[in-house]
Amino acid sequence: MNAHRVAVTGMGLVSPFGGDADDFFHHLLAGDSAIGFLRTDDVPRPMAIPFAGLPTFDPQTHFDKMLLSTVDRFAQIGLAAALAAWRDAGWSIAASDESREHWGVIWGTALGGVLTLDKSYRDLWQNGRQRLSPLSVVLGMNNAANAHISIQLGLGGPSICHSVACASSALAIGEAFRRVRSGESTLMIAGGSEAPQAYSVLRAWEALRVLAHADEETAAGACRPFGADRDGLVLGEGGAALVLENWQHARSRGARIHAEMIGYGSSCDHDHLVRPNRDGQVRALRLALADAGLSPDEVDYVNAHGTATAEGDPIECQALQAVFGERAARLPVSATKAAHGHLLGAAGALEALITVLALRERAIPPTAHLRSIDPECAGVDHVTRARSGQRLRAALSNSFAFGGSNAVLVFHAGGQ
Amino acid sequence: MDSLFLIREFLCDRLGVAAEKIVPETMLDAVGVDSLLILELMFDFEERFGIVLSKGLPPPRTVGEMAKLMDGLRNAQSN
C-alpha cells in the first residue's frame, strides 16, 4: 500500500458560542463555558438540567424552507457544520472544474433523528394521532446528515454513517483518514452531529446516574472533568466537520493546510457495556501511535475524552500513564467537555477540531473549572489555564464509547 | 377552502415557494416539489379534509392537475 499524506484543509462547526471555529477556540482558551440550562415542558415531569445547547443556531438563516422540511435538527446541525468546513477548505458548494465523483462523506451520530422519533411517539401515544407524516422516515434515519451533505455538495463517493455511541464521529474521521491515506479517495469530509434533547433520551441518561447536578445559577460550571468535586457529565448538542485531503492535491491547488492527520487507532474493551477498561484504551492509544510512527515522547498534547464521570476519568489517566510512562507526568492533557458539554456521537469530531486548532494556534485550551484535581486522576500534566506559545508537534484526541469502542486520532502540526 | 388554496398555502408557508409562482400551470417539479414532497402534500390534504387518497392515483405534474385531482376526490367522498 502506498501511503499518502493527509492534510486537514477544512474545519467547520456549529458553535455553542455562536461564532466560527476561531471564535470558538478563543472562548475555550479563555475558559468560557457554553453550558446553559435546559427546561422542558414535558408532563407530568419536566426536565431541568444543565445542557450545552446552540442558542444562536437558527436553521432558517442557513437553509431554505424546502430543504428544512426534510431535515431533522441533528442533520441541520451536521449540514451546517459540513458546509462551513467545505467553505473553509476553499471549495464552493457547487462543483466547478473538479470532479467529485470519488469524494465522499463519513459521518458519526449516536442518536440520529431521535427528535423526530420522539415527536412521532408523542403524536401517536400522547396526542391521539393515528398516523405519521411520510417525511418521518427520512427525517429520522441515522444517515440523514451524510445523505444531505452528499447531495448538497454533489459527492459521488461513499456516504457512510457510523453509530458507535460516543466514539461515532472519531471513528468516522479515522475511517475517512484511512481512505485518503490509502489513495482510495482524494478527499473526504468527515465529522458528526447530535441533537440529543429528546425527553426519552434525557430520562434515559438521568436513569444511568451519570449526569451532573446543577441549578440555573451554577450550570456553567457543572462539568468538571478530573476534578475532585466532579459529579457527572453534561449533555450537549452540536456538530463539527473536517475536510481530509490528499496532501499533494491540497498543495497543488494552493489550499491552506491547518494540520496533518497522521494516525488512528481503534479497539474494543470486550469487557463491559459501560464500564471503561484501561487495557482497551491502552490498545487504541498504542495502535494510534504506531500508526502515526510516533514515540510517546513526540506527543505534546492530548485532548482527553474526560467526561467528568466518577469511573471514566481515572481510567483514562491510568491508560495515559501506561502508554506514556515517565513522560505522562509532563504530558499536557485537557478535557474541553467542561466548556462545550458531551456531544455524544459528535464529541469526537468537535474535539478533533479543537486538537487541530491547538496545533495550528500553538495553544492548549484548559480543562475549565478544574480547581482541585482528584488524586485518582493524577499522573498527567493537567492543563488548568490556557497555554499559549507552545511548541506543539503532535497531538491526540481520545474518544471512548459505551459498548467499549475506543478511538484515538493523531494530528501533527505538519511541515510543508 | 379549495384545493388550490391549500396547495398554495403548503407551497408558500412550508416550502417557501413564492406565491406568484403558484398558478395552475406551474410544474410541481419546477418549484422543487418532488415525489417525496407530493406525498407530504397529499398527507396534509388528507389530514385537513379527513379523506384517504387512493394509492393508485397517478402522480400529478402541475398545480392545476393536483388541485383538480383533490377537488374530485373531495366531491366523490363527500357524496
Show the cell assigned to A30: 479563555
CB contact under 8 A, A134 and B32: no
A137/B contact by beta carbon, under 8 A: no
CA distance A291 to A300: 17
Asked whether the beta carbons of A246 and A180 are under 8 A apart, the reply is yes
Measure in Å the smallest separation between the Cα of B69 and chain A Cα atoms.
20
The reported pLDDT for the residue numbered A360 is 98
With the CA atoms of B55, B58, B59 and B64 taken in that order, what torsion angle do they form, in degrees rounded to the nearest 10? -120
B52/A contact by beta carbon, under 8 A: no
Long-range interactions of A116-123: CB distance < 8 A, separation 24+: A116/A72, A116/A140, A117/A198, A118/A198, A118/A199, A118/A200, A118/A201, A121/A200
The reported pLDDT for the residue numbered B58 is 78
Asked whether the beta carbons of A382 and A226 are under 8 A apart, the reply is yes
Asked whether the beta carbons of B66 and B28 are under 8 A apart, the reply is yes
Measure in Å the smallest separation between the Cα of A67 and chain B Cα atoms.
8
Measure in Å the smallest separation between the Cα of A125 and chain B Cα atoms.
18
A60/B contact by beta carbon, under 8 A: no
pLDDT tens column, A6-29: 999 999 999 999 999 999 999 999
| Nearest of A304, A329, A324 to residue A227 by alpha carbon | A304
Residue owning grid cell 481512505? A179
The DSSP secondary-structure symbol of B41 reads H
CB contact under 8 A, B36 and A66: no
Most distant CA pair in chain A: distance in Å?
A: 64
The DSSP secondary-structure symbol of A211 reads B
Percentage with pLDDT > 70 across chain A:
99
Higher pLDDT, A374 or B2: A374
Sites in chain A below the pLDDT cut of 50: none
The reported pLDDT for the residue numbered A164 is 97
Tell me the HSE value of A195 on the side-chain side, using a 13 A CA sphere: 25
Contacts B17 to A, Cβ<8 Å: 66
pLDDT greater than 60 at residue B31: yes
Residue A212 has a CB neighbour count (10 Å cut-off) of 24
The reported pLDDT for the residue numbered A321 is 98
E strand residue ranges, A33-142: 36-39, 48-51, 104-108
CB contact under 8 A, B15 and A65: yes
Please list the active-site residues of A.
166, 305, 342
pLDDT tens column, A338-376: 999 999 999 999 999 999 999 999 999 999 999 999 999
A66/B contact by beta carbon, under 8 A: yes
The DSSP secondary-structure symbol of A227 reads B
* pLDDT band at residue B47 using 50, 70 and 90 as cut-offs: confident
Contacts of A376 (CB under 8 A, 6+ apart): A313, A314, A317
CA distance B33 to B17: 10
The domains of chain A, with CATH numbers, are 6-252 (3.40.47.10), 263-412 (3.40.47.10)
Contacts A123 to B, Cβ<8 Å: none
The reported pLDDT for the residue numbered A1 is 56
The reported pLDDT for the residue numbered A22 is 98
